[in-house]
Amino acid sequence: MGAYLLRRLLLVVPTLLGILIINFAVVQFAPGGPVEQMLAELRGEGQSTLGRITGEGGGDVRMPSGIDQGGQSGGGPAGSYRGARGLDPAIVAEIERAFGFDKPAHIRFWEMLTGYVTFDFGRSLFQDRPVIDLILEKMPVSVSLGIWSTLIIYLISIPLGIRKAVRDGSRFDVATSGIVLVGYAIPGFLFAILLVVLFAGGSFLQIFPLRGLASPGAESLPFLQRALDYAWHMALPTLALVIGGFAGLTMLTKNSFLDEIGKQYVVTARAKGAAEHRVLYGHVFRNAMLIIIAGFPAAFIGMLFTGSLLIEIVFSLDGLGYLGFQAATRRDYPIMFGTLYIFTLLGLVMQIISDFTYTLVDPRIDFEARR
């Protein structure tokens, strides 16, 4: 097992490199980059006219004079950007230099990689702050949502799925299948909107807060009151994620247990007089849970980042999902690639942990014996 884990760890490096190369190459051909957005704003075609842009080293680079409110200049046609028409070429060159686009793509990619080795993701193009600081600032919101919702989903779905498998075809199975069907059919963000309307001051009751993870001044409260205030703020977002995510795991658990219950070793154990509880949890559980464990890393990463994006927007939670969404719409490449790097690395490591957990659940599994 040790040699297998070592090989998997060594494969993390080329996997990360390949993912970054592919995404970096795609971004080079995507329209609407930061330089084009700045040029559009200077020409009065963007949402606002910016007076300065972020330069290297965290300083502010003021735009050269000669540009009026609409972004026109007395210069001739500029560089290769279509949005640069009518702007002084010197202004375009200054914008490219400030954003780092005056260098060839391969040099920019190499500089990005050398920084990533030490977890230096550079500075945000539009927020003038280190990317790592932004990620650490937003992480508690997304981690809180991811951990609690994933934990509750597993605590509900696995016992419910086992119960449905044991009582397959019964009234209990049919009734709970209706609830699961609703969870399948309705996206989580619609549940979030419904919860806001019903319980967060939308149209009916105002029982729960709508913004943030803590009330103003909560840091001065005793520990127990802070914990209750935190739970009060987390209740609706977590519930929305749980309702939207428990259905798939419940059915996966049920089908996995049904498949194992019908196998010959279960029939043999029952014929030998083994108690039903021992058959179910001493034999079936270990085999049926393998597929559940295999899906945990993807479920957690998805819940932590992509799954919580719309939930964060609905409940006005400033987390990693919302940060990534803003970065993608503004083409803030340092944030985009920084979050991509972190979540890819986290996903690869958790997949290795998942393989190790396989051997804990079922010692008969030997990854070293695979060819």
What does the alpha-carbon distance between residue 150 and residue 142 come to, in Å, rounded to a whole number? 12
Residue for token digits 């034999």?
Answer: 283
pTM higher than 0.75, yes or no?
Answer: no
Q: What is d(CA 213, CA 232) in angstroms, rounded to the nearest whole number? A: 8
In a domain, 113, yes or no: yes
Contact between 237 and 192 (Cβ < 8 Å):
yes
d(CA 210, CA 200) in angstroms, rounded, equals 6
**Amino acid occupying residue 179:** I
Q: Could you tell me if residue 151 is inside a domain?
A: yes
- The answer to whether residues 109 and 271 touch, using CB atoms and an 8 Å cutoff, is no
Hey, is 54 helix, strand or coil? strand
Question: Burial letters for 122-141: b for 16+ Cβ neighbours within 10 Å, e otherwise?
Answer: bbbbbbeebbbebbeebbeb
Q: What span, in angstroms and rounded, lies between the C-alpha atoms of 69 and 80?
A: 23
Residues 96 and 192 in one domain: no
Side chain identity at residue 112, one-letter code:
M
Residue 6 resides in a domain:
no
Is residue 111 located within the same domain as residue 237?
A: no
Q: Is residue 85 part of a domain?
A: yes
Last residue of a domain, one of 117, 148, 164: 117
Pair 307, 347 in one domain: yes
Pairwise CA distance, residues 344 & 347, whole Å? 5
- Same domain flag for 299 and 349: yes
CATH code of the domain in which 156 resides: 1.10.3720.10
60 and 140 fall within a common domain: no
Domain boundary residue among 89, 117, 145?
117
- Are both 75 and 150 inside the same structural domain? no
Does residue 126 fall inside a structural domain? no
- Boundary of a domain, candidates 117, 139, 155: 117
Ordered mean pLDDT values, 10 residues apiece, the chain (371 residues): 78 90 83 72 54 40 39 41 58 72 83 87 85 88 84 89 89 89 82 86 78 80 87 88 84 88 85 83 79 72 69 82 81 87 84 75 63 52
Number of domains in the chain: 2
Residue 11 lies in a domain: no
Residues 316 and 290 in one domain: yes
Residues 48 and 93 in one domain: yes
Distances (CA, A) of 74 to 79, 88, 90, 134: 15, 7, 11, 39
Domain of 316, in residue numbers = 131-369
Is the residue at 23 inside a domain?
no
The pLDDT value given to residue 362: 65
Per the domain annotation, does 16 fall within a domain?
no
pLDDT at 67: 39
Whose CA is closest to 243, among 166, 175, 189?
189
160 lies in the same domain as 275: yes
